[in-house]
Homo-oligomer: A and B are copies of this chain.
C-alpha cells in the first residue's frame, strides 16, 4: 500500500512552513506579478507545474477577466513627510486593486478611504475592490484613532491595465485517465492560514505523489486566484473535468493547529464526501462537519449546477470562523509546522484511500474457509472468531454493490484496516474487484 513513514511527517511540516515563510511577503492579488512570483517559487519545488496566462477581457461564463493590477508602492504621509502607513511595511495596508492616486487630503477627506476593525483594534483588515474602481488604505483601529487633524499625502503607485490572469496547472499522470482534482488559491497577499497553507500543503502532496512508483488516478492540481480563477479554469476545461474528475479537494485553511473541518459537496454523498468522512472520523474524530450551505471557497464553482463536480474541502479551522481571518493576525505564528502537517496528512490519507478503493465481490457463495489459509484460528474456543470480525465483515458486505469505503463505514473499520484486509483477501483470491 502506498504510504509515508510517520517519522517524516515532522520534516514535511517544517519544510512547508519554511516555504510559507518565503512566500509570505509577496503581494498577491487575483492578477499581477505577485501571482507570477509565487508560481515561479512553487514550480521550482515541483517541476511540471506550468504557468498559464489568460488575457484581460477574456470571457468566462458570466465573468470577464479584469485588467491586471500591479503596485510599485503606496503610502500615506503626514505633513512632516513621515510615512505613517506604508505598503512596503505590510501589503495589507493597501486595498486590493486600488487605482493610482497622488493627492493631499484633509483627515476628513481621507476617512472614507480608510478601513479598520473597531472590534479588533490592533489588526489591519484585508479589503479588496476588484470590480469597482476605488482606492483605499487599511490600518489598525488604534492607529486610526490617533491620526491628528491635518493634511495627508496619499500615494498609490499602481497600474491597472490590460494584461492577464495567471494560474498554475500540474498534471501527474496515473494508470487511469480518471482524475483526482486538487485546487488551491494564490490571490491573497500576506495571509497565512487563509492563503499560504493551501499552496504549500498542495505542493507537498504533489511531491509525495510524484515520488510514488505509480498511481492509479491522474492528478490534476491547480493553483488559481479564488473565484475568478476557478471560473476561468472551469470555463476552459468543463468537458474534461466533468468526464474525468472522480473526486476533488479544495485545499484552503490547512495550516493552523486548532480544529479540523470537512465541508461537504452540494450533493453531500459523493465519493469525495464518503472518503473524507471515513478518513476524518479516525484522523480527527472531533472534526467539525459543515454542509454546502457553509461553503465559501472554490467549491462554490466546482459544485455549482451545470458543473457539479464531486468536490469537498478538508480544512483545519475554516475561513470566516476564526478571529484572525482576513486580518494581519492571520500570520505565520498562527500557522505552524504541526498544523500544516496535520492538514497535509488528512488530505494524503484521503488520496491513499481513494487509490485503494475498489468495489469487491466475494469469489464464492458462503463464507470461505479462512482456517486452511492461516487466516483464522483452528482451535474453536468461545469468542475465537470474534477477533476475526473485521475480515469476516469485509467478506460479508463485499457483494459487488458497495465499494470498500461503504463497507468500512458500514462495518466500523478505518480505511487503513479495510484496505489491509481487502488486499489480503484479494491476494488469496477470496475477493475480486468488479470495477477494476
Contact = CB atoms under 8 A, between A and B. Distances in A.
Given A129-B378, A393-B293, A366 B400 contact: no
A328 to B, nearest CB: 12
A255 B296 CA distance: 46
Interface in A249-286: 266
Contacts of A81: none
A172 B60 CA distance: 47
Nearest to A411: B293
A231 B396 contact: no
Interface stretch (A45-53, A102-110, A206-214, A367-375): A367-375
A214 B303 CA distance: 38
A234 B382 contact: no
Nearest to A227: B367
A365 B305 contact: yes
A62 B373 CA distance: 11
Contact of A366 (B307, B364, B381): B307
A303 B303 CA distance: 39
Interface in A119-134: 125-132, 134
Interface in A358-407: 361-362, 364-369, 371-372, 378-383, 385-386, 392-393, 395-400
Interface in A72-130: 96, 115, 125-130
A349 interface: no
A300 interface: yes
Given A126-B382, A300-B396, A307 B411 contact: no
- Give the interface size bracket for A toward B: 35 or more
A344 interface: no
A45 B325 CA distance: 63
Interface in A22-81: 60-63
Given A62-B368, A380-B128, A396 B362 contact: no
A305 B361 contact: yes
A421 interface: no
Number of copies: 3
A292 interface: yes
A18 interface: no
A238 interface: yes
A202 interface: no
A158 interface: no
B365 A234 contact: yes
Nearest to A361: B305
Contacts of A379: 127-129, 132, 134
Given A326-B382, A400-B305, A131 B371 contact: yes
A301 interface: yes
Contacts of A184: none
B129 A366 contact: no
Contact of A367 (B301, B365, B378, B382): B301
Contacts of A63: 366, 369
A307 B365 contact: yes
Interface in A298-353: 300-301, 303-308, 320, 325-327
A60 B300 CA distance: 55
Given A293-B411, A300-B367, A381 B127 contact: yes
21 contacts: A60-B366, A61-B368, A63-B366, A115-B381, A126-B382, A127-B379, A127-B380, A132-B371, A134-B379, A230-B366, A231-B366, A235-B366, A293-B411, A295-B396, A303-B396, A304-B362, A304-B395, A306-B364, A326-B381, A326-B382, A327-B382
Q: Report, nearest first, the 10 A-B pairs whose CB atoms are least far apart.
A: A132-B378, A306-B365, A305-B399, A62-B368, A326-B382, A301-B366, A128-B380, A231-B366, A62-B364, A61-B364
